[in-house]
Structure 1
Amino acid sequence: MSTPGPGGPSASDPADPRLTHPGERHDAGHAGKLNWLRAGVLGANDGILSQAGLLVGVASATANTSAILTAAVAGLTAGAASMAAGEYVSVSSQRDAERELIAKEARELAEDPDIELAELTAIYRRKGLSEQTAAQVAVELTENDALSAHLDAELHIDPDELTSPVAAAVASAISFVVGSAIPTLAIILSSTSWHIAAVVIAVLVALVTTGYLSARLTDAPRGRAIARLVLFGIVTMGITYLIGRVFDTTVG
């Protein structure tokens, strides 16, 4: 049997964080960071694809650099504002709903704590605990923090981890700007004859990178994630290129 180290748990202690598999983290803070990273990658992908589609469409219709750059700035600005507004409204609605659920649960605990305790016990019974163990767990959690226990078990809400609508909106806008900057810079740094090719190359490289990162964050198959993004990128740019050719206003 292993023995505890100085001032620390034994190697056989189930609470010892050293027992997690290498590279694994199980704390709520880490899960929250992963969610933000995933959201950032998705926002960047939106920026890459929407801006690339816009610029390829415009560049296929006109060789006028001023017109292309105007479209680039407008697309980046409008896209970032739209993403921020959409995220703010969405998260605000979710946060309002969560606050209402928290208030409702608090009222129910104050009005009929016995029924709520029985309800919490039943939840742990359904998770596979024996009647005695489920009752003991419910009682101990209730004595420690009844509201948090019910919010976690019933609603999967942490009242201390509610997402900030402002933070979500800012993060969404920034990730969109970062993504859309890639095809924008490709246009700015390339000659007129290379505008479309430069955007396509830059976007495909960016999509491969973000596809790899998103797959790594979610432990999904990387090849499939990359292939999906690249396919959508090619289709998006192909469609907008054809639209641009239909409305061709190229300046000679």
Structure 2
Amino acid sequence: MTETSAAISTRLNWLRAGVLGANDGIISTAGLVVGVAGATTSRTAILTAGVAGLLAGALSMAAGEYVSVSSQRDSERAALDVERRELAQQPQAELDELTDLLAERGLGRELAREAAVQLTERDALRAHARVELGIEPDELANPWHAAVASLIAFTVGALLPLLAIVLPGASARVPVTVAAVLAALTLCGVVSARLGGAPAPRAVLRNVTGGALAMAVTYAAGTLLGTT
């Protein structure tokens, strides 16, 4: 059974969101633990800060995604309710509107009318939702799925710099973490570029530059605070 283009698009969007969530987890946690490592060599302090940052970031991402997707879903449901009411009250006007929309997409007027009639007879609400609103009525985003996916993606990304900073000895912590983080950001850049159909070198450069800058700034701040 082949997937519809909408299903494929939805899956790609989820994958892209997962990669971006992991990317956020890597950069934010790496900046935090490297900054603390600049101020102290205490493994306990670094681990405590890292775990706190991981939990706060993951829960914040999950809450933000839940609110965002809930708002989107409420808007989509409201639009479907309006469309359902208009179909019940003004069926002929809605048929004319669907015909116009199909004609604007390149169909001849007669063919557009015939297609509009057939789509309306089959499922009028679905036809208007897809053509007019760009919504799949049976595939509205689930806010709980989005929240859990964001929490998991952020946590997976955050674990890498956290483990990289606490497992090595004091002298190797920062170099090992920087190397691991830059490698992970390179991979995230390549994957996100592939999913988005964009050039990989540019995405990798942005990703690596942003991560390196974040770690450099927080390490400098941590070193300064640790010294003073």
What interval of TM-score do these two structures reach, taking the shorter chain for normalisation?
over 0.9
Q: Which of 107, 115, 122 in structure 2 is aligned with 1:129?
A: 107
1:42 equivalent to 2:10? Answer: no
Q: Distance in 2 between matches of 1:127 and 1:175?
A: 38
| TM-score of the aligned structures, taking structure 2 as reference length | 0.96
Contact 1:62 1:249 in 2 (8 A): no
Distance 2:48 2:23 in 1: 22
Structure 2: runs of 5+ lacking an equivalent: none
2:68 aligned with 1:106: no
Kindly indicate whether the alpha-carbon contact (under 8 Å) linking 2:35 and 2:218 is maintained by their aligned counterparts in 1: yes
Match of 2:214 in 1: 236
1:193 is displaced (CA, Å) by 1.1
TM-score of the aligned structures, taking structure 1 as reference length: 0.87
- 1:139-189 deviations in Å (ceiling 9; x for gaps): 111111000000111110001111110010000000000000010110122
Q: Could you say which residue in structure 1 is the equivalent of 2:127?
A: 149
Give the unaligned 5+ runs of structure 1: 1-16, 18-24
Match of 1:59 in 2: 37
Q: How does 1:1-252 map to 2 (within 5 A)?
A: 27-248=5-226
- Give 1:64 shift: 1.3
Aligned CA RMSD, in angstroms, stands at 1.3
Rounded to whole Å, the distance in 2 between the matches of 1:246 and 1:135 is 72
Quote the offset at 1:72 in angstroms.
0.7
TM-fit CA distance, 1:249: 5.3
User: What does the per-residue CA deviation read over 1:96-151, in whole Å, with 9 as the maximum and x for residues that have no partner?
Assistant: 11111111100000000000001111111211222111111111111110000001
Larger radius of gyration: 1
Q: Distance in 2 between matches of 1:26 and 1:104?
A: 26
Taking only the aligned residue pairs, the percentage that are identical comes to: 56
**CA distance in structure 2 between the aligned counterparts of 1:249 and 1:50, rounded to whole angstroms:** 23
Deviation digits for residues 68-101 of structure 1, max 9, x if unmatched?
Answer: 0100110001011000000000001111111111
**Hey, what's the Cα distance between the residues in 2 that align with 1:246 and 1:137?**
69
Deviation at 1:34, TM superposition (A): 1.0
Shift of 1:27: 3.1
